[in-house]
Amino acid sequence: MRWFVQRLRVPHALRDYPLAGLALRLGLTWWAEVAEIYVNGELVRSGDLFDSAGRILLTTAANPGEAFSLALRLVSPGHDGGALMRSQAIWEHQGDSLDPGLLADELTVLQQYLAAFAPEKLTELAGAIASIPWQWVGDRDRFDRGLRSLREDLRPLGGLLKERGFHLLGHAHLDMAWLWPVAETWEVAQRTFASVLTLQKSFPELIFGHSTPALYAWIEVHRPDLFAQIQAAVEAGRWELLGGMWVEPEVNLPAGESLVRQFLYGQRYFQEKFGRMAEVAWLPDSFGFTWQLPQICRESGIKYFVTGKLHWNDSKAFPHGFFAWEGPDGTQLLTLMSPPNVAGVMDTSPLPMANYGVAWEQQTGLTEAFWLPGVGDHGGGPTQDMLEVQRRFQGSPLFPRLEFSTAIAYLNRLKASIDPGQLPVWKDELYLELHRGCYTTHGDQKRANRYCEGLLYQAELWSAIASMNFPNGFSYPQQDLEMAWKQLLFNQFHDILPGTSISEVFVDANQAWCDVQQAGETILQGALEAIAADIDRSSRPQPEARPLIVFNALNWSRQEIVTCSLPTEGYWRVYDIQGQEVLSQQLDNNQLLFSAQIPGIGYGLYWLCPGELKPTQRQPPVDFCLENHYLRVEIESSTGELSRIFDKVNNWEVLRGPGNQLQAFQDQGQYWDAWNIDPNYQEHPLPAAQLTSLEWLDWGPLQWRIRATRQLGSSQFIQDYCLQVKFTDSNH
């Protein structure tokens, strides 16, 4: 934590320009977890890592000699030292009056555009600037008249800028969880949405857009008054519903079914509560985008896709700003790269806007640019100062046109202005060249997600079948399934599933996974029991036989090895419904393996029967080798690594060297340590793992399994090499 203290006294003039009566603002930019600005001992502004800049009004009419005591308290972020990045006194005329600072910004913007698009006119601009009446700078009225005259002389050149424009949409990116738990997100959302609605009373031109139906659903339940105001703003066209997905998810890790469900529940909610669906998919901060999104988006009522994340690439700049993203099936989705925003704040400062406008036009040839003013990541949205600055430059003859717009209106306008044949086409995933470590960080989240995805698929499938074909009092659990799906989809948020949040977030996430698992398993068990109750069991081969019902949730017939727990010790056999014994293998852990062939989306009935005589226990093989119809796998007895994988079908040696080597490297010092992998990690290997044991656990006729135990530092790694028989047409 650091205090920055200064006493600021108003001078009579700045470079001879009189300051009396001008408004004085303090422009600050910080990088801190907590920022507090005090003026004359009073707290006038606070901020954080995301609300990281401000223009604090010290006085509307400065008096020479007047003093201000300024104090800035900054608390460093946990991951670096923090900084005060900018501190600037800003002198302005009140209202729309022209002052030197405003004209300086206008001239800078004009020079940028002329240099890029009309360089032959730069000489004219230079001549005009040379005529600034510096000899009158001490006479403010006379000097200001000279500036106004200069501005009028440059108005024809400003016509070039008025051929161009910015479409503004107020925005407040709000992470559902990240450096704060979900409970805090609800509070931030309320403040952000209330702030926007209040600002719209003073700035009726403000249009705001936000995604995430899950957030609206919470507001609906807990703040119905605020929700009603949002509904009215949507109806009035001053609030745009974006995204259409339940949250802004990670889209590389989830299954395709989950991505479809994100849109199903999101768009359904928007339609039910607002009478419309989103037309613009909105994922500004997810870490790369699967190639299947164009098809899924278009089938979900989406016309356009917007992200700005590829501006974060660490190697190659993404080449397109507006393009057709074509999926593997040929579906095209018009896609926009939104303006870069790496700090969480996008204000209406004229110079950054002009820099982007020029770069955008040079990249795309398009004269209409998009801009998203607002404080984000931790919510916030547009500020009053942003809107006041916007109004000031909206009236400038030397700045591009400014108008608030919806994203869909802007994108429709772009589409209408472009020959489709001239639009670049991208036929691949949208790969982010950064944050590659998020696919392994917090592996427990990935494991829970995949298990729950499969569980809910099966729970829904068998519940539907049970309710249609095996009623027996079974009622389709639609509400329970929807609630479980929405919990799963929420946990797929792009800072939860990738594992890039603080530890408190995963306490909540893990509880949600447990809730989903419990709900899914309860629903699945009920559905399977309902189906099983109607299955004919008259084929019992022995009085002591116990039924085993095997379900296949996939669409094709499968012959697989099934594992079941044995009711008691002893020797057991398995029979099919024709009374024929099927191949089985009894394990030492009171489990039994047997071969089952089940039709697609179907079941098979088998019988577990006590055997009369336990077969003689065979000795384990001497060599550590696994083999079936397709593969021969050899394991090096001194290391526990794979020494050979031979493809018997294609007569091909798969490995060129040792396989399944357990390696460890030092990986530290990365700024985004939960997201990234140190690019030089291979230069810092840790000592090799040591094999402590290698032993046979199972050996035929259905399964062969070898366990390797290795020590790596203070950690023990236990791996099982397992190979099962694979059935061919000849051994069915």
Which residues are the active-site residues?
A: 285
DSSP for residue 707 = E
Q: In what order do the strands lie in the sheet with 591-598?
A: 558-565, 591-598, 584-586
DSSP for 111-166 reads HHHHHHH-GGGHHHHHHHHHT--GGGTTSHHHHHHHHHHHHHHHHHHHHHHHT-EE
Amino acid identity of 440?
T
Neighbouring CB atoms inside 10 A of 136's CB total 16
Contact 507, 494 (CB under 8 A): no
Residues near 518 by beta carbon (within 8 Å), at least 6 away in sequence: none
DSSP for 173-190 reads -B-SSSSS-HHHHHHHHH
CA angle at 573 for the pair 567 and 576, rounded to the nearest 5°: 110
Strand, coil or helix: 480: helix
CA 249 to chain centre: 5
Q: Across the chain, which distance is largest between two alpha carbons, in Å?
A: 115
Alpha-carbon dihedral 675, 176, 251, 436, rounded to 10 degrees: 0
* Nearest CA among 489, 418, 475 for reference residue 260: 489
Distances (CA, A) of 90 to 57, 61, 103, 722: 9, 13, 13, 71
Give the integer Cα–Cα distance in Å for 522 and 310: 42
In DSSP terms, which residues pair with 369 in a beta bridge? 166
Give the integer Cα–Cα distance in Å for 641 and 638: 8
Strand, coil or helix: 354: helix
Residue 692 tokens, joined: 């402590």
| Residues in the chain, overall count | 732
Q: In what order do the strands lie in the sheet with 703-712?
A: 690-699, 703-712, 715-724
* Nearest CA among 318, 287, 324, 288 for reference residue 305: 324
In DSSP terms, which residues pair with 550 in a beta bridge? 604
Sign of CA dihedral 411, 416, 420, 423: negative
Q: For the chain, how far is it from start to end, CA to CA, in angstroms?
A: 72
Residue 318 tokens, joined: 């993404």
- Cis peptide before 350, with omega less than 30 degrees from 0? no
Give the integer Cα–Cα distance in Å for 443 and 499: 8
Give the integer Cα–Cα distance in Å for 192 and 470: 50
